[in-house]
Amino acid sequence: MRVRFAPSPTGNLHIGSVRTALFNWVFAQHHNATCVLRIEDTDLARSESQYEDNIIEGLDWLGLSMDEGPSTPKNGMSYRQSERIKEGVYQKYADQLIASKRAYYCFATEAELDAERESAKARGEAYVYSGKSRHLSEQEVREKLDNGVPYTLRFYLGAPQDIVVKDLIRGDITFDTSLLSDFVIMKSDGSPAYNFAVVVDDVDMKISHVIRGEDHISNTPRQILVYQALGATVPEFAHLPIILGKDKSKLSKRDGAMAVTDYRELGYIPDALINYLSLLGWSPADGREILSRDNLVSQFDLGRISKSGAVFDEAKLKWMNGQYIRALDAPDLLAAVTPYFTDETSAALANYSDDVKAAMVYSVKDNLELLPEINQYLDLYMMDDVAFKARLAEIDFTDDNRRVLQLFSDKLAVTACQPDDVETAMNAVCEELELGKGKVFKPIRLATTTFGSGPHLPECLSIFGLDDVLKRLSYTLEG
C-alpha cells in the first residue's frame, strides 16, 4: 500500500491540510505502508519556496515524517511537479493519449469559449464544451501547429457513461459523463492541468489509496477516466469530511484556519494537536478522547470516518492541550516551556538550578492550557520583599486568620518544609482549631503568596524554603 500527501505551496500549511496529512500518515503506519510527500507546484505564478519550507517545517514539528519526498527520494523519482515538468514526464503521457485518440489539440480561443458559455447560459443549460476541435482533420491540425497557433490538449471523454467512484468513506458515488466537458490536460504554456498531473504522478509513484478532502470528489470521475485511458490501475479513494467553523461554514482564520506553525508559536504541544485533529471526523472504537500516537495508529480505520463535516472547537483544543501539559514530568515540562519564557521570566529564574526551576514550573502546571501562560503563573516565585509587602498590604487578615497563621508557623518551624511536612502542618491546624480546610488553607496561601489561587500549596511552600515561608508569615503576624 502507498498513500501520498500532496500540498500546493501557494500558502502555509493550515489545519485542513494537516488533518489530511495526518490521516494519510496514520493509515500508512497502521498498514505498514509507504507515505509519500509530493509538492504540487504546477501553479508556477503562485507557488513559492517559502510556503514549501513552511509545509515541511510544520510536518517536522508535528512528527509526521514521510517515507519518500523531495528530501528522501527513491529510485530517482522527482517529487516536485515543477521538476517533473522540466523532465518532460507529463508530455510523455500526453503524447501517449494523443496516439491513442484519447486526447486532442484544442485551438479554441478564450473569446470562442466565452461565446459558447454565454450561448449555454442563454439557453438555460449547464455549459459543456462543444468539442469542435476534436473534429479537425490531421492536416488541419498540422497546419495550425506549423503556423504556431496557440493550443491546449484536451482529454476526450468518449461516449457518455456512468462513472462509479467507490469511495471507502461514502460508498458508491455515480457521475454521468454527459454532464462533463472534454477537459484540458495540458495548458497552453506546456504545464499540466491538475486532473492530469495528479493521475500521472499517482501512476508513477504507484499510489494505491488516495485519501484527500471531499472538495476533490467532483475531480474524481475525470481522474478515473485518465487512469483507464492510460491503462493504469485505479487507486482506491477516500474523501474526508470538511472541517467547519463554529457557524458550520468553511473554517476561517477567525475559527482556527491558521498556519500550523502559528499553533506552535501559541504554545500548543504537537501530540495534543495530533490527538485533537484525529478526532475531527473520526472516532476510535473504544470512545477515548486522549489518544497516544500508538493508540491512534493501532485503532485507525477508514470505516470509522464520518461523512459529515467536523466542527473545529478551539476551546476543546485548548482543553486537550492542557491535558497533555499536565501529563509531562517536571524536566520535560521545563524543557517545553523554556522557549516561551519572556526576558523578564528568564532573568528572574537565572540564579535558580534546573531542579528548582523544574519544581516551580511543575507546581503551576494545573493552571496551564498554553505553554506561554507559564509567565503569568510564575509571578508568585519572582517577587522580591518590596513587591511582596506591597501586595500583602492590600489584604485584610482577621484575628482568626492570624491564629491560623501563628499555629501553622509554629508547627512548620520544626520541619524541613518538604511537601509532606507542609501538608501535615496544615492538617494539624485544621484539627486543633476545629476548622475546615478552606478556613485554614486560604489565609496560609494569601499570607505566603499574596494570591488567592495558584499551585498546590505544599509543593509551592517547599520551593520557597522554610526560612522564606516563615519570613513571609512574620510580615502578617507582626503587621
pLDDT in tens, 212-248: 999 999 999 999 999 999 999 999 999 999 999 888 8
Is there a domain that residue 123 lies in?
no
| pLDDT > 90 in the chain, percent | 90
> Which segments within 101-235 are labelled E, that is strand?
103-106, 152-155, 162-167, 171-176, 184-186, 209-213
- Same domain flag for 364 and 449: yes
CATH number assigned to the domain comprising residue 26? 3.40.50.620
Is there a domain that residue 111 lies in?
no
For residue 90, pLDDT over 70 is answered with yes
- Same domain flag for 297 and 357: no
- Same domain flag for 28 and 67: yes
pLDDT in tens, 168-226: 999 999 999 999 999 999 999 999 999 999 999 999 999 999 999 999 999 999 999 99
CATH number assigned to the domain comprising residue 456? 1.10.10.350
pLDDT band at 454 (very low <50, low <70, confident <90, very high): confident
- Same domain flag for 308 and 408: no
- Same domain flag for 249 and 338: no
Q: For position 257, what pLDDT does the model report? A: 65
Please state the rounded mean pLDDT for residues 447-463. 92
pTM listed for this prediction: 0.88
- Same domain flag for 471 and 356: yes
User: How many domains is the chain built from?
Assistant: 2
pLDDT in tens, 101-139: 999 999 999 999 999 999 999 999 889 999 999 999 999
- Same domain flag for 247 and 362: no
- Same domain flag for 300 and 399: no
Instruction: Give the Cα separation of 94 and 88 in Å (integer).
Output: 10
Q: For position 74, what pLDDT does the model report? A: 95
Instruction: Give the Cα separation of 476 and 469 in Å (integer).
Output: 11
Cell of 98: 494523443
Please state the rounded mean pLDDT for residues 31-52. 94
- Same domain flag for 377 and 413: yes
pLDDT band at 254 (very low <50, low <70, confident <90, very high): low
- Same domain flag for 269 and 380: no
pLDDT in tens, 292-335: 999 999 999 999 999 999 999 999 999 999 999 999 999 999 99
- CA–CA distances in Å: residue 298 to residues 236, 304, 306, 313, 472: 21, 13, 19, 25, 53
Which residue, 307, 327, 347, sits at the end of a domain?
327
Is there a domain that residue 247 lies in?
yes
3-class secondary-structure state, position 112: helix
For residue 249, pLDDT over 90 is answered with no
Please state the rounded mean pLDDT for residues 10-27. 95
Q: What is the DSSP string of 426-441?
A: HHHHHHHHT--HHHHH
For residue 255, pLDDT over 80 is answered with no
Is there a domain that residue 361 lies in?
yes
Domain that holds residue 10: 1-71+241-327
Cell of 446: 494569601
Which residue, 265, 298, 327, sits at the end of a domain?
327
| Cβ atoms 406, 432 nearer than 8 A | no
For residue 3, pLDDT over 70 is answered with yes
- Same domain flag for 375 and 409: yes
Is there a domain that residue 137 lies in?
no
Is there a domain that residue 189 lies in?
no
For residue 256, pLDDT over 80 is answered with no
- Same domain flag for 348 and 460: yes
Q: For position 247, what pLDDT does the model report? A: 82
Which residue, 308, 327, 346, sits at the end of a domain?
327
Strand partners, 69: 72
pLDDT in tens, 49-64: 999 999 999 999 999 9
